Each structure stands twice: as structure tokens, then as C-alpha cells.
Structure 1
Amino acid sequence: MRHIKAIAIGLAMYVVSITVLADFFSETKIKAEEGNAAAQFNLGLFYAQGKEIGQDFDKARYWYQKAADQGLAAAQNNLGGLYDHGIGVAQDQSKAVGLYTQAAEQGDAQAQYNLALMYEQGYGVAQDYSKAKYWYEQSAEQGIAESLYNLGVIYYNGYGVDQDYAKAFELYQQAAEKGLPDAQNNLALMYFEGQGVAQDVTKAKAWFKKSCDSGDGLGCGNYRIIDEAGL
């Protein structure tokens, strides 16, 4: 069953108009230059997203670094993302792991997810399913659907744990109820095969439909197969 492999590195900034955005940028830049960590992080976001000012990942890295040096977890996570993917910098996944770790240990849920993925895949660090499981669990406790899903994959396949379909089903269900298409598809498969739960083709079809409606190609394909078979 598929893993969610994408690593999210951005946090949303909400603005109401171009004028407000320009004013906010100017105010943010002044505060950032005065040493305000939150403003430095937001300025990094401005440059990373390129809203009205032109995308500049070198400047994004600069301001993320300033905020990260002051211990701001979100900045450490986003800076880690730049190094992880080689965006605006030479790719350095070992450095990314270090930055994710700093943020994860402060309780940043996205960093915990990112760090878990690095340990699971062996990116920038020796592969360690036990540490991957730990950090997925920390992130999942804060409601990150992708962590719930990837924990489900770990239990489904028995990666570093005893294979446990019932536990995998439980985790997929939690992620599916949060609207994650991959989890909805995998949950449907478990209903269809009767793995970790009593077989229920009706529920399988319903979850395949939800996955398809959420834009998942596998979910759509599985739904069509069941529907054309008259199940």
C-alpha cells in the first residue's frame, strides 16, 4: 500500500488584499530586521511563496535561518525542507534531519512527520523503523492525517513491528475520516478484502467513492471495477 511521501514545508499566511499584503510585507520586514523571530519566519514565507515580491529562495533561506537560530520551530522545519529538497540550496538531507529534529523536539507536528519519514526511508540518516514509528506517533497525536496513514502502512506491512491488520485498519480509518484520499482508498481495500475487519463490500464501495471524489486515481479505478461488477 502506498506511502505518503511528500514533505510539506510551508505554513499559510492569510491576507485580504494586495494592499494589505504590501503593507504587511513592509511591516514584517521592519520587524524582521529588528530581530523579531516570528517576523523573520514570515518574511521567509513571503520570499518562498513569492507573493507580489518575486520568489527568492535564497532570501527565504536567509530569513528562515535567522528565525531558526532563535529557536523558532516552524522556521527550523521550513529550513529543513529547503535542504531536504535542495530548494535554493545544495541538497543536504543530513542537515535537514538535524533541523527537523530541533523542531520536532519542540513539538512541531509537521517536523515530527518529516523526521519520521526521513527515518523510515533512510534519507539523511540510517533507516530506523522504531524512530520512524515514534515520530509518526508524536505527530499523529497532534492530528496529522499523513502520520496516521503512514503508521497504518507500517502496521499493514509489518515494517519494524508485528504485522497487525486490525491496527492498520484503525489508523487508516482515522486518516480517512480526516479526508485523506490515500487512506480512504486503503480503508476501502481492507473492507473489500476483509483484512482487520469483517468483509463489507458496501462500505468498501462507499470509501472508494469518497477517495475518488477526493481526486485519488486508484480510488476511482477501484470504484469503477466494483461498480461495473455490480457489487
Structure 2
Amino acid sequence: MKNTAAALGLSLLAVVSCAVGAHAQSADLVLCDRVAADPADPDKPADVKGVSEIAAADISTAVRFCKQASGGTRRALYQLGRAYAANRQATEALAAWRKAADKGSTAAMVELGILYATGAGVAKDEAHARKLLERAAEAGNPRGISNLAALGGGAAATDPARARSLLAKAAETNAEAQYQLGLMLADGKGGAQDDTAARALFEKAAAQNHPAALERLGAFAEQGRGGAKDKDAAKSYYQRAADLGEEDAKKALKRLECPYVLKDKRGNLVSNLCF
């Protein structure tokens, strides 16, 4: 009887130990999600809000708990990369994102694609960037689709109609996709030209403070494309875009303020006349 009781006690202890270990691992991921989850990551649980940027006060916590949870899920690895990036540890961030991408994280593929496209911290390699973004886009990641279109490669270049289709799905929620699809509709790429639909897409992206979409919306309002012509509205859109650093919007504002120009005999601009 004593031996049986002892054996039962050991069995119960083992079960409790396993449960505690599982709970501890789960707690690490919960804390990692809380401070480092990306709102745009398709792997993010629906009940996790996520943060667009990791708060400075949470960086060390994010690194600690995401690192402890990184052996379990690709989401934790991706979030660990975000934490390292926020802590200016570019080499560590790159390594974490590579591991996450190898495990199928489309969010990590997008981050790597952007790094290779811009040459930030790695040798610039647009071909590799395109492959990464194509993988993410094929898996339905909205940022993968929109960044691929912005890169001007893959489906956007070789199959504009398919690019439209991919962007249409992403444009349901993604401002960059709304902007890119708006450009395609405005230019008639991959299908019929539709200024009204393009303007509506620019309005959606502008509502999310997308600088380039605000500039395009200003141009459409100024020219009366896809809707009413409204110079005051155009100036307001240009101003919002300019405040966000959009250079074309700054030029448009200058042109509205100084509509007349002086040119020399050769037709070269001498100066603007402002009234």
C-alpha cells in the first residue's frame, strides 16, 4: 500500500510539474503578445489588440518574454524581431525574422522584404525582396501584397490584372493597398480606368492619414476627377499631406498659393507670383 501511494504521489507530482511548465510557457507568449504583437500580423490572435510600435518602456519586457516564448511559435519569433528592432539591435532582429520566415511567418517575410528592398542593414537585393514579398502576398498577407505592388515587381509588373485582384482583397483593410489599387484604377492598369472608384479608395486611405493618398485626393479634388471639383478641399488635403512630409503635396500647395509664373524667353521658370 505504501509503495502504491508513493507511486501515485509521484505521478500526481509529475502531472502538476508538466502543467506548471506549460502554464509558464503560455504566460511568456501572453506577455510577449501583450507588449509586442503587430496589429497587421495575420498570426495575431483575434483577442489581442497589438501595438503599432513597441513602447520604449516595454522593450526590455518584450525582448525577455518573446525570447522565452520564441521556441514555441513563429509569432513569438516575429515579435522578438520587432522587439530587437525597437531596441536598435538590427543583427538580432534580422536573425529572428529569418527564423520566423523559415517557419512560415508572412509578417516576417514582409519585414525582410522591406529590408532587402531598401538595403537597410543588409545588402540591397530587390530580386530577393520580391521573392519574399511574393511569398507573403501568395499567402494573402495584405502588407505583402501592397509592398509588392509598391516595389513594382512580381504580379504588379507582369500581370496587372492579377495584381488588381490581390490588391482588392488587401484594400478591404490596408491603407497602402487602397492607395496602390487607387493608382491602378486611376491609370487604367490591369483593367478599366475608373476615377470614381480611385477617388473612393484614396478617401479610405486618406482617412488613415496615408500621405500619398492625401496628395492624390487633393489632386483629384483640384481637377474634379471622379467627383466634384473643390479647390478649398484640395488645399486642405494637400496641407494634411504636407504636414506628414509629402513632398509633392508641398509643391502643390506652393502652386496654389503662387499660381502665376514668370518665364524667360526660353520658357524657363524665373519665379512664381504670389497674391
Shift in Å, 1:228: 4.8
The aligned counterpart of 1:5 is none
Inter-partner Cα distance in structure 2 for 1:21 and 1:188 = 39
The aligned counterpart of 1:24 is 62
* Stretches (4+) displaced over 4 A: 86-92, 123-126, 228-231
The aligned counterpart of 1:161 is 191
The aligned counterpart of 1:40 is 77
The aligned counterpart of 1:149 is 179
| Contact 2:171–2:178 under 8 Å retained in 1 | yes
CA deviation profile, 1:158-200 (whole Å, cap 9, x unmatched): 2222222222222222222222222222222222222222322
The aligned counterpart of 1:214 is 244
Which one of the candidate residues 48, 51, 54 is aligned to 1:14? 54
Q: Does 1:204 align with 2:234?
A: yes
The aligned counterpart of 1:101 is 134
Query: What percentage of aligned pairs have identical amino acids?
Result: 31
Inter-partner Cα distance in structure 1 for 2:125 and 2:156 = 11
| Contact 1:212–1:219 under 8 Å retained in 2 | yes
Higher-RCO chain (CA-CA 8 Å, sequence separation at least 6): 1
TM-aligned CA distance change 1:159 to 1:75, over 3 Å: same
TM-aligned CA distance change 1:212 to 1:21, over 3 Å: closer
Q: What SS class does the counterpart of residue 54 from structure 2 fall into?
A: coil
Inter-partner Cα distance in structure 1 for 2:114 and 2:93 = 12
Inter-partner Cα distance in structure 2 for 1:173 and 1:23 = 38
Read off the aligned partner of 1:31 and give its amino acid letter.
A
Inter-partner Cα distance in structure 1 for 2:158 and 2:238 = 33
Q: Does 1:129 align with 2:154?
A: no
Inter-partner Cα distance in structure 2 for 1:126 and 1:183 = 21
TM-score, normalisation: structure 1: 0.75
CA deviation profile, 1:63-108 (whole Å, cap 9, x unmatched): 2222223222222322333343444555444443343333334432
| Contact 1:117–1:132 under 8 Å retained in 2 | no
Q: What SS class does the counterpart of residue 158 from structure 2 fall into?
A: coil
| Contact 1:113–1:136 under 8 Å retained in 2 | yes
| Contact 1:116–1:134 under 8 Å retained in 2 | no
TM-score, normalisation: structure 2: 0.64
| Contact 1:116–1:135 under 8 Å retained in 2 | no
TM-aligned CA distance change 1:35 to 1:86, over 3 Å: farther
Q: Size of the alignment, in residue pairs?
A: 213
The aligned counterpart of 2:7 is none
The aligned counterpart of 1:55 is 89
The aligned counterpart of 2:208 is 178
Shift in Å, 1:140: 0.8
